[in-house]
């Protein structure tokens, strides 16, 4: 009954649809006009009926065996938009005969509600395996975290998918999260890569160029394998991992400026040349130690980088500076409750991200 009242209200005062672009995370696929009730067996997983619709909303009554991706394909033209139906109804498993609200237009691209706004957490890992350092996350704990994300229907996005959200043109699923890994330790290939593949998730790996091929670092063959898989996106983490905001003792202003340029340019040129076969394009940068100043930001802008990430904790709202995105560190001593506490995806209006 509530859904029908909402439908009637929206039919009386339609508003202009919000434009969107991109892929399944928020693209505005064109819904089929007045999709007819499917005859039995005609659309596997979407055999229910449309009880009513307006320009903005439809009421869909699922049949037994219906699934959200197929319902989204039928009603919205794209199975990857199933999150819109899930977010609108607060469920992922439709029940036969229980009406679903199907938003036919994209949600607000900035994730704004009357009392809150959406934030996207970016998680930051470093090493995987055994050891006492808090920077090392055990394979068992990492897999436990991935399993929890999957079980709770989080959408693990590529970092590049945030661009449309930050430009206020592309909505994202309510439970969106990004996984990043810094430095380029060999344990990424040994532990994290297989786990990410197992759960169907992606991650961005920020590599500092001089570390590649070292005793603990990834080899070029390993980087090529991971980049070619589509699971790992390889991006820049400087050349030497020097702190970019601290001038070395006796370093002149001119030498410091030249060093910053080299730290930004060299890893991009090297990664794109050595990983050309995998189609790697470097447009994102992770600041060593999470530190950046105005001079560093200006260089990144001039060099055409789209995204820069810090290690300042918190989520990222639509108004976040794209070259100063927040990331939340995940340490080896974090249990599952600690992990869950770092996944806040909505903040009250008036609060800090």
Average pLDDT over residues 26-41: 51
Q: What residues have CB less than 8 Å from 319, skipping those under 6 apart? A: none
The answer to pTM > 0.75 is yes
pLDDT band for position 119 (cuts 50, 70, 90): very high
3-state secondary structure of 49: strand
pLDDT cut 70: percent of the chain above it: 88
pLDDT band for position 22 (cuts 50, 70, 90): very low
User: Is the sign of the CA dihedral 242, 246, 249, 254 positive or negative?
Assistant: positive
**Strand-pair partners of 325:** 309
DSSP track, 87-155? HHHT-SS--TTS-EEEESSPPPTT-EETTEEE-EEEEEE-EESSSS-TTEEPHHHHHHHHHHHHHTT-E
pLDDT at residue 104 greater than cutoff 60:
yes
Give the model confidence (pLDDT) of 172-227 as tens digits: 999 999 999 999 999 999 999 999 999 999 999 999 999 999 999 999 999 999 99
Give the model confidence (pLDDT) of 46-78 as tens digits: 999 999 999 999 999 999 999 999 999 999 999
Please choose, from the candidates 284, 290, 210, the residue with its C-alpha nearest in 3D space to the C-alpha of residue 246.
Answer: 290
| Predicted local distance difference test score (pLDDT) of residue 35 | 54
Q: Whole-angstrom Cα distance, residue 318 to residue 195? A: 30
- Helices 68-76 and 82-89: crossing angle in degrees, nearest 10, is 110
b/e burial code for range 299-338 (CB count within 10 A of at least 16 → b): bbeeeebbbbbbbeebbbbbebebbbbbbbbbbbebeeee
**Strand-pair partners of 186:** none
Cα 25 versus chain centre, distance: 9
| Predicted local distance difference test score (pLDDT) of residue 351 | 75
| Predicted local distance difference test score (pLDDT) of residue 350 | 79
Sheet with 346-348: list strands edge to edge.
112-113, 116-118, 346-348
């Amino acid at each position: 009954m509530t859904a029908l009242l909402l439908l009637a209200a929206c039919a009386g005062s339609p508003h202009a649809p919000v434009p969107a672009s991109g892929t399944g995370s928020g693209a505005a696929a064109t819904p089929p006009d007045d999709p007819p009730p499917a005859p039995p067996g005609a659309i596997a997983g979407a055999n229910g009926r449309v009880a009513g619709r307006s320009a903005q909303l439809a009421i869909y009554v699922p049949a037994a065996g219906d699934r959200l991706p197929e319902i989204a394909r039928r009603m919205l033209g794209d199975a990857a938009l199933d999150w819109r139906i899930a977010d609108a109804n607060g469920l992922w498993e439709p029940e036969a005969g229980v009406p679903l609200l199907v938003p036919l237009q994209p949600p607000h691209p900035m994730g704004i509600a009357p009392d809150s706004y959406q934030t996207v957490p970016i998680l930051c890992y470093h090493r995987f395996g055994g050891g006492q350092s808090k920077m090392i996350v055990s394979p068992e704990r990492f897999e436990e975290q991935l399993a929890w994300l999957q079980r709770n229907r989080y959408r693990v996005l590529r970092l590049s998918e945030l661009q449309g959200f930050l430009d206020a043109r592309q909505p994202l699923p309510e439970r969106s999260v990004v996984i990043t890994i810094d430095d380029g330790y060999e344990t990424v290939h040994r532990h994290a890569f297989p786990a990410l593949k197992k759960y169907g998730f992606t991650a961005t790996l920020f590599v500092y160029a001089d570390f590649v091929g070292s005793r603990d670092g990834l080899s070029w063959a390993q980087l090529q394998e991971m980049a070619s898989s589509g699971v790992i996106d390889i991006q820049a983490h400087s050349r030497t991992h020097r702190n970019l905001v601290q001038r070395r003792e006796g370093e002149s202003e001119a030498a410091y400026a030249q060093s910053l340029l080299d730290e930004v340019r060299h890893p991009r040129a090297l990664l794109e040349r050595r990983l050309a076969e995998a189609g790697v394009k470097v447009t994102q940068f992770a600041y060593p130690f999470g530190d950046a100043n105005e001079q560093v930001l200006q260089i990144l802008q001039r060099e055409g980088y789209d995204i820069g990430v810090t290690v300042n904790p918190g989520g990222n709202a639509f108004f976040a500076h794209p070259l100063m995105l927040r990331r939340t560190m995940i340490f080896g001593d974090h249990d599952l409750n600690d992990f869950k506490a770092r996944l806040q995806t909505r903040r009250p209006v008036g609060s800090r991200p």
